[in-house]
Copies of this chain bind each other. A is one copy, B any other.
Amino acid sequence: MNSFSTYPSADVIAEAHNRISPYINRTEVLTSSFFNQQSAASLFFKCENFQKAGAFKSRGAMNAALSLSKEELSAGLATHSSGNHAQALARAAQILGTKAFIIMPRTAPAIKVAAVKSYGGIIHFCEPTLAAREKKLEEIVSETGATFIHPYNDYRIIAGQATACKELLEQVTDEPDYIFCPVGGGGLLSGTALSAAYWSPKTKVIGCEPKGADDAFRSFRSGKFVPSTMPKTVADGLLTSLGDLTFPIILEKVHDILCADEQDIINAMRLVWERMKIIIEPSAAVPLAIALSGQINLKDKSAVIIFSGGNVDLNNLLWA
């Protein structure tokens, strides 16, 4: 097992990409004349909403799972998540013939519980507190010997998420001026920033966060870790704090972090559905909301927008 005691190198990310390729989608990069007009830029949309299990999380989860020894793998995987990482890890375990133990708050929406179960994940519920979650996780890990795979604060996860940016840089013809990437715990953003630094050094990576959960923005601007406390946003994949592995990479490699208003997130999401005819989740709309907000002058620039996922409850639309 590779201990990944330092930032994933270009080789480590390239190796991760090769390793996970049989199990993930090389997702499309789409363009939209409507959004090009709206932004006065050339925009490229990396569609991780088309990824297996509906989000980029399948990259990191599969890379982490494939980095385990046969013995480790046979004892299973474990994590705490009620979101896309849980589904992605359950899927990775199912494909590799092992178990995934998923700790979820008992308040998790039924649709997310069902999604994890559809991949054969074994769900353990806990009270919706950090303490209860960690206690339950410890219990499960010590009972089963399963390996804990953190949703983002893990170099194997970061290397896996980094493959989305490596891939998109292969798909667009020129080095983009910008990449707009959502940030929650920072797994995708740190990985994206690493890949951009390795394969497209002139590209500026912009972390994109909802104003209602702006801990990464405040951490980045102050240079000191600020935890996410009482976040409130429709972008339910971006509620968490940065990790002690993701934050230093972000501080070093990310150009800036900007924030989006809630209404702009909802508007951007709806415009994508209407104009591009594709389904993205609220978290995935945050980078576009920021790109359209005018906070950066994109006139005649090229920019990649990462659509991080497409898992929504079609019975509960934000604008209904």
Contacts and interface: CB of A to CB of B under 8 A. Distances in A.
A28 interface: yes
Given A28-B28, A270-B314, A314-B270, A49 B319 contact: no
Contacts of A28: 28, 30
Interface stretch (A99-107, A232-240, A273-281, A298-306): A273-281
Given A28-B28, A320-B320, A314 B277 contact: no
- The number of times this chain is found in the oligomer is 2
A9 B314 CA distance: 44
A50 interface: yes
A54 interface: yes
Contacts of A274: 314
A277 B50 contact: yes
A1 interface: no
B276 A50 contact: yes
A110 interface: no
Interface residues of A, number: 20
A230 interface: no
Contact of A277 (B54, B317, B319, B320): B54
9 contacts: A50-B277, A273-B279, A273-B314, A274-B314, A277-B280, A279-B279, A314-B317, A315-B320, A317-B317
Interface of A: 28, 30, 47, 49-50, 54, 270, 273-274, 276-280, 310, 314-315, 317, 319-320
Given A50-B276, A50-B277, A270-B314, 18 more contacts: A28-B28, A28-B30, A30-B50, A47-B277, A49-B277, A54-B277, A273-B279, A273-B314, A274-B314, A277-B279, A277-B280, A278-B278, A278-B279, A279-B279, A314-B319, A315-B319, A317-B317, A320-B320
